[in-house]
Amino acid sequence: MELSHSDKSGGYRITYRNYRHILAIIYAIEEINENLSLLPNITLGFDIYDSCSYESKAIETTLKLLTGTENEVPNYQCAERGTLAGIIGHMLSSTTKSMAKLSGVHFLPQLNQYLENVNFETSSGENFHFEKREIAGEYDIMNWFITPNQTSIYTQIGSYISSAPPGRQLVLNEKLIQWNHIFKEVPQSVCSNSCLPGYRKAPRKSEQKCCYDCVLCSEGEISNNTDMENCIKCSEHQWSNERRDTCIPRTIDFLSYEDALGIVLSFFAILLSALTLAILSIFIKHKETPIVKANNRDLSYILLISLSLSFLCSLLFIGRPHTITCFFRQAAFGIVFAIAVSSVLAKTITVVIAFNATKPGSESRKWMKAGISTYLVGICAMGEVIICFVWFLSSPPFPDFDTSERSLKMTLQCNEGSAVAFYFLIGYMGVLAVLSFIVAFLARKLPDTFNEASHITFSMLVFCSVWLSFFPAYLSTKGKYMVTVEIFAILASSGGLMSCIFLPKCYIIIIRPELNTKESLMGKKVTRYNVESK
């Protein structure tokens, strides 16, 4: 039994909440003593003290057990009795620890659960055994309830059968349970509330296993049941909803013509392509003028057409990726750009050959008539064609979903298939650009008639700067912004070539036609040449 405080009178009242434990101990000891086969020639006895759930009282009663009398005398045994075999602690851990510190000084064991692997038969012939500190058998579960007139009522509400299959050992009739009036609902047997779907249980450090915190599942993970210890990761093509309790399909994202970014890029691509065609029409219209003739009309036409197509190639990168667009967009971009850069290289070489052809006795005149520049463009462009052909045979591009981003959206993009082939395509174009830059840089001080070399030098400087900055920007972005970076590089580099090479000539043709004469060009040439000769 247990002695506790009374809230109203300030005195004490006796409760029978733990009285069953005392009865169990007495019953077990009596059964053991009556069975001579368990402990032959040994009789067990016991002393029971009430600590009233106080630590000080528990220490006092422990001293009484050691002394053997009501007057506790430390280190003295004042009563004749049998050997003290052990002490059974209190049900409270704090009280039990206080008793253990004192009994440990006297090397007395303290038992918190008192029997293990013991079998005996009761006087009524019923077999009982304690196995692994648990009693195996069939037990009635009783509901102890005190009525308003202070009458105790015991009602059987279920049973526990240890030998039954798992899941059927405990049987309860919840309708028969009568709770204390202070409980408004069924009390919880744990120190934490249940974790709802969308949350997982996170154990608290240095606390009982039943104590935990409910942590919201991370993005891309869900928990669809109550009290789940781990969240479930959604599949690649799914993502968690806001409540983190259901996986939902991801939305497909790509650079479309409906996006503001797609509209702006498309507008500039078409505008620059139209401007390039306008320049081409100006050159065709004034094809017999000296400034057009002096800059190799055929190469100028090829370069302007390839630049116009390169602007339009960027449109293949916008819109929903399909197998055909993924297959041809890099090839179209690479081959058209290779033709454009090869044309610039051929124009640069033509400038050098043309200057040398003006010298007396030079054999460069036959190279001018042989059309070497046109063949050079075809040979250089064929290298890019071979790279694309090998790329498509080995590992062609294809539409694919990028699910690496941790968001509800997944990007539909073109998987390049072979990253090595893609960088070979860009690298080959870069080699042609570097060669053009080197040749143009060496020819930048030629006489004024051939000052196209200085324009080509600056255009190649812009071209190389754009593509050198392309690689870090391309590798550091994800999703549809990778496509945006490539489109910007195409427009910027193509626009740089067109602006640096052709806009100055258009200025002379349209704004300053008086300079577009053979006499004006030859006069500048002779003057510059005579000055440099001195």
Listed in order, the ranges of the chain carrying CATH 1.20.1070.10 are 260-396+418-533
Residue 529 pLDDT:
35
Q: What does the pLDDT read at residue 194?
A: 83
Q: For the domain bounded by 2-136, which CATH number is listed?
A: 3.40.50.2300
Quick one: pLDDT at residue 133? 47
Query: In this structure, are strands 12-15 and 2-5 parallel, antiparallel, or unpaired?
Result: antiparallel
Selection from 248, 392, 407, 265 nearest residue 323 by Cα:
392
**Beta bridge pairs of residue 215:** 200
Residues in the chain: 534
CATH 3.40.50.2300 occupies which residues in the chain? Answer: 2-136
Q: What is the pLDDT of residue 128?
A: 56
- Taking the model in full, what pTM does it have? 0.59
Question: Which residue from 250, 226, 346, 330 is spatially nearest to 298, judged by alpha carbons?
Answer: 346
Stretch (H or E) spanning 157 = strand 152-161
The pLDDT of residue 43: 85
Could you read off the pLDDT tens digit of each residue along the chain, which spans 534 residues?
444 444 444 444 555 666 777 788 888 888 888 888 888 888 888 888 777 777 778 778 777 777 766 656 555 555 566 677 778 777 776 677 777 777 776 777 776 657 555 565 554 455 655 555 444 567 778 888 777 787 888 888 888 787 788 778 888 888 888 887 777 676 666 677 788 999 999 888 877 777 888 999 999 999 999 888 899 999 888 999 999 999 999 988 888 888 899 999 999 999 999 999 999 999 999 888 888 877 778 888 999 999 999 999 999 999 898 888 888 888 898 899 899 888 888 887 777 776 665 555 555 555 555 467 788 888 888 999 999 899 988 888 889 888 877 888 888 888 888 888 888 888 898 888 888 888 877 776 665 444 566 778 788 888 888 888 888 888 888 878 888 998 999 999 999 889 888 888 888 888 888 877 776 665 544 333 333 323
Tell me whether strands 409-415 and 251-253 are parallel, antiparallel or unpaired: parallel
Report angle CA 227, 230, 233 to the nearest 5 degrees: 125
Determine which helix (DSSP H) or strand (DSSP E) holds 160, and give its type and residue range.
strand 152-161
Domain 260-396+418-533 sits in CATH at: 1.20.1070.10
383-387's contacts with Cβ under 8 Å and 24+ in sequence apart are 383/338, 383/428, 384/334, 384/335, 384/337, 384/338, 384/425, 384/428, 384/429, 385/335, 385/338, 387/334, 387/421, 387/424, 387/425, 387/428
Q: Which of 189, 169, 187, 171 is nearest to 179 (CA)?
A: 187
Q: What is the DSSP string of 448-487?
A: GGGTHHHHHHHHHHHHHHHHHHHHHHHHH--THHHHHHHH
- In DSSP terms, 140 is beta-bridged to 159
Q: Are strands 87-88 and 110-111 parallel, antiparallel or unpaired?
A: parallel
Distances (CA, A) of 370 to 154, 350, 353, 375, 439: 118, 12, 12, 9, 21
Residue 278 confidence (pLDDT): 94
**Helix or strand holding residue 65 (H, E):** helix 55-67
Provide the 10 A C-beta neighbour count for residue 521.
Answer: 18
Q: What are phi and psi of 253, to 5 degrees?
A: -125, 140
Residue 454 contacts residue 444 (beta carbons within 8 Å): yes
Output the six-digit token pair for 235.
């599949």
Distance CA 468, CA 377 (A): 23
Nearest Cα to 380, choosing from 305, 302, 313? 302
63/71 Cα distance (integer angstroms) = 9
DSSP states of 243-296? TSSSEEEPEEE---TTSHHHHHHHHHHHHHHHHHHHHHHHHHHTTTSHHHHTT-
